[in-house]
Chains A and B, each alone.
Chain A
Amino acid sequence: SQELEQSPQSLIVQEGKNLTINCTSSKTLYGLYWYKQKYGEGLIFLMMLQKGGEEKSHEKITAKLDEKKQQSSLHITASQPSHAGIYLCGAVSNQAGTALIFGKGTTLSVSS
């Protein structure tokens, strides 16, 4: 079965600093999703990447998909306290795209 490995597991950065979170799949990625979750709350959709080499940005968050390496990265520029939370990468578990599997998440804390 497909597995997603996220790194780092947790991250503490000073406000204003940049950071990167990685997500590596054990199998071919048909679609890669990034979500953010506050503890005990629902998942907020950030971005979806499908094509190899694809890069998307939203405000200060940029995500890239390297299909050859079966890896995606999420980069936050000039972090703010509002960026704190748990970042989850998710991937469709088969080409039919019927369900998502998730990485274990990266907990981000931003100190002011």
Chain B
Amino acid sequence: DTEVTQTPKHLVMGMTNKKSLKCEQHMGHRAMYWYKQKAKKPPELMFVYSYEKLSINESVPSRFSPECPNSSLLNLHLHALQPEDSALYLCASSQDSPSGSTDTQYFGPGTRLTVL
């Protein structure tokens, strides 16, 4: 089973709202990722968690707040977003073995976020 699940599938929020995106995997992977994908562009890395600790933050604005409550779950808390933050948010996970370059990242179906 190589399934990564994401909820919700679609989300519409106002600029003053607070919402959360959720990601879950049961493959025993210890690395989890958030990517942002704008229309007709490739995914861009936002955050990497390794063994439940934040290891990479690609200079993402503080209105995006990641959280990894356990090895299977990854959340992305959203607050005071801007319309330009509207995008497809993709979660991924991988083994995070010592030779990381051979680890395959498996992606979820994404959450389509629209900020009004």
Interface residues of B in 87-110 (CB under 8 A from A): 88, 90, 92, 99-110
Which A residues are CB-close (under 8 A) to B109? 41-42
Interface residues of B in 66-116 (CB under 8 A from A): 88, 90, 92, 99-110, 112
Interface core residue of A30, A95, A98 (most chain B CB under 10 Å): A98
From the candidates B6, B41, B48, B88, name the one contacting A104 in the complex (CB within 8 A): B41
Do the beta carbons of B42 and A104 come within 8 Å of each other? yes
Do the beta carbons of B101 and A102 come within 8 Å of each other? no
Which B residues are CB-close (under 8 A) to A92? 100-101
Interface residues of A (CB under 8 A from B): 30-31, 33, 35, 40-45, 48, 50, 88, 90, 92, 95-105
Confirm or deny: B43 has a beta carbon within 8 angstroms of a beta carbon on chain A: yes
Q: Which residue of B lies closest to A38 (CB)?
A: B109
Do the beta carbons of A30 and B104 come within 8 Å of each other? no
CB distance from A1 to the nearest CB of B (A): 11
Which B residues are CB-close (under 8 A) to A43? 43, 90, 92, 107
- Cα of A101 to Cα of B58 in the assembled complex, Å: 12
Do the beta carbons of B100 and A96 come within 8 Å of each other? yes
